[in-house]
Amino acid sequence: MNVMPLFCLFLSCILSHALHAQNECECAEELRLRPRIIQFFNAGKVDSAVLEFEKIRRVGTAVCRISYCNSMAQYYFNKNETQRVPSLMREEKQLLDSLQCSHKAYARYYNTYGNYFLTQNQYQKSADYFLQALRHGEMAKYVFAQQRALTSLSVVFSQTEQHEKSLLYQKQAEILARKINNQDELGIVLSRQGATYNNLYEQKHEKKYLDSAYLAAKAGLRLGQMLGNVHTQTDAYLGLATQALYSQQFNQAFRFADSVLLLLPKDLHHMYRYQALRLKSQALQQLHQYPLAAGYADSALLEARLFNPQMQVNALKQVYETQKSIGHHKQALLAYEQMISLKDSLASIEKFSAINELEQRYQRVKNEKSIQELTQSRKIALLHNQLLMLAILVALLVILTLVFLLRQRTMQAKQVTLEKEQRLNRARMNPHFFFNALVALQVLAMRTNDGRSIAVYLSKFASIMRQILESTYLEYVSLAQEKAFLEKYLELQSLRFPATFEYSITVADGLDSEQMMLPPMLIQPIAENAIEHGFRQKDRQNKLQIRFIATNTKQLILEVEDNGQGLDQQLEQKKNHLSRASQIIQDTLSILRQRHHCNAHFTIANKPEGGVIAQIFLPLILKAG
Average pLDDT over residues 327-355: 74
DSSP calls for 142-205: -HHHHHHHHHHHHHHHHHTT-HHHHHHHHHHHHHHHHHTT-HHHHHHHHHHHHHHHHHHHHHH-
pLDDT tens for 287-329 read: 999 999 899 989 988 888 887 777 788 888 889 999 989 989 8
Per the CB < 8 A criterion, the answer to whether 27 and 105 are in contact is: no
Assign 577 a pLDDT band (cuts: 50, 70, 90).
low
Average pLDDT over residues 508-519: 89
Assign 350 a pLDDT band (cuts: 50, 70, 90).
very low
CA-closest candidate to residue 419, choices 590, 247, 617, 180: 590
Per the CB < 8 A criterion, the answer to whether 281 and 320 are in contact is: no
Domain 409-622: CATH class, spelled out: alpha beta
Per the CB < 8 A criterion, the answer to whether 112 and 90 are in contact is: no
Q: Is the confidence at residue 495, as pLDDT, over 50?
A: yes
pTM over 0.85: no
pLDDT tens for 71-80 read: 999 888 777 7
What integer pLDDT is reported at residue 573 of this predicted model? 44
What integer pLDDT is reported at residue 586 of this predicted model? 85
Assign 143 a pLDDT band (cuts: 50, 70, 90).
very high
- Three-state SS string across 584-604, please? HHHHHHHHHHHHHCCCCEEEE
CA-closest candidate to residue 81, choices 123, 42, 103, 50: 50
Domain ranges of the chain: 24-101, 285-347, 409-622
Assign 16 a pLDDT band (cuts: 50, 70, 90).
very low
pLDDT tens for 462-474 read: 777 777 777 667 7
What integer pLDDT is reported at residue 393 of this predicted model? 81
Q: Is the confidence at residue 375, as pLDDT, over 70?
A: no
Please tell me the distance from the alpha carbon of residue 552 to that of residue 541, in angstroms, as a whole number: 34
What integer pLDDT is reported at residue 432 of this predicted model? 63
Average pLDDT over residues 480-507: 87
Q: Alpha-carbon dihedral of residues 565, 567, 570, 575, nearest 10 degrees?
A: 150
Which carries the bigger pLDDT value, residue 445 or residue 569? Answer: 445
Assign 44 a pLDDT band (cuts: 50, 70, 90).
confident
Q: Is the confidence at residue 14, as pLDDT, over 60?
A: no
Q: Is the confidence at residue 407, as pLDDT, over 90?
A: no
What integer pLDDT is reported at residue 615 of this predicted model? 93
